[in-house]
A and B are shown apart, each in its own frame.
Chain A
Amino acid sequence: MERIPILKMGPFLLVTIQIDLYDRLALTLENDLINMVSQTGARGVLIDISTVSIVDSFMGRILGNIASMSRIMDAETVVVGMQPAVAITLVELGLTLQGVYTALNVEKGMELLNNKLGDNLELDDEEEEDQDDRND
């Protein structure tokens, strides 16, 4: 069965969608990604759609699902490289990709994920400090 490869890079998972997704392939990707987040404890998922020419409501829903499911499992999702024509079409279709972070390209997307991870680490530190205070 055809599958979209998922690469692990440090605390992140990377996916490049290079073909037109049909429904079953998209659902398999959703499933594979969530399993990978669970197995690897990844903190971020980056999905590159720069070669995807069509995002319809089904595909949009899959992207939204991936983001919501990942968030529940403590990982942020960023979708990068959307073509201008796809962005124009999505807005007219009425799909706003709520809850999905987007970035212009892979580089900016990685930066965004790193910042998110940094923010979370700082938060963790503060919590620890608070505990120290209490111990004093």
Chain B
Amino acid sequence: MIVMTKDTMEIVREQDVVPFRNRVREFGTRIGMSLVNQTKLITAASELVRNMLKYASGGKVILEVISLNAKTGIRLTFKDEGPGIADIALAMRDGFSTGRSLGLGLPGAKRLVNEFDLKSNPGEGTTVTVIHWKHGR
């Protein structure tokens, strides 16, 4: 896998969300991703960044343009040092939330992107990595 462009954004306040989403859109436009795929990726990113703010009071996101086997895509890595997720299987279930939300964030984000990876240890924080390819597959 080749990383072609890399950028990092700190997310510490609610106001950081809109500029972050715009940055993801810029990356998508730069590689020629279609509008539907951009919308899916940005919506997933919005859910994940919201989780980061809500449960871990912020963190950082690494944005990368990657290339693998002649496919181009965007990889987003969300890193926080929050409380971590005790039961990942439960957190990935539709409708489950420890906050007062709809519980669609994690499972919904997973459905919207091509690749989704979640690593978390209680007390050590959470890292979510998503990849969405230019053509959505």
Contacts and interface: CB of A to CB of B under 8 A. Distances in A.
Given A24-B14, A54-B21, A57-B47, A93 B104 contact: yes
B105 interface: yes
Given A57-B47, A61-B102, A94 B94 contact: yes
A88 B104 CA distance: 16
Contacts, number: 69
Interface string A80-101: 0001111011001111000000
Contacts of B94: 94
Interface in B65-103: 94, 101-102
Interface in A1-41: 20, 22-24
Contact of B46 (A54, A86, A88, A95): A54
Interface range, B side = 20 to 34
A41 B38 CA distance: 40
B132 to A, nearest CB: 12
A55 interface: yes
Contacts of B21: 20, 54
Given A85-B38, A92-B111, 8 more contacts: A20-B18, A22-B14, A23-B17, A54-B43, A56-B43, A56-B46, A57-B108, A83-B39
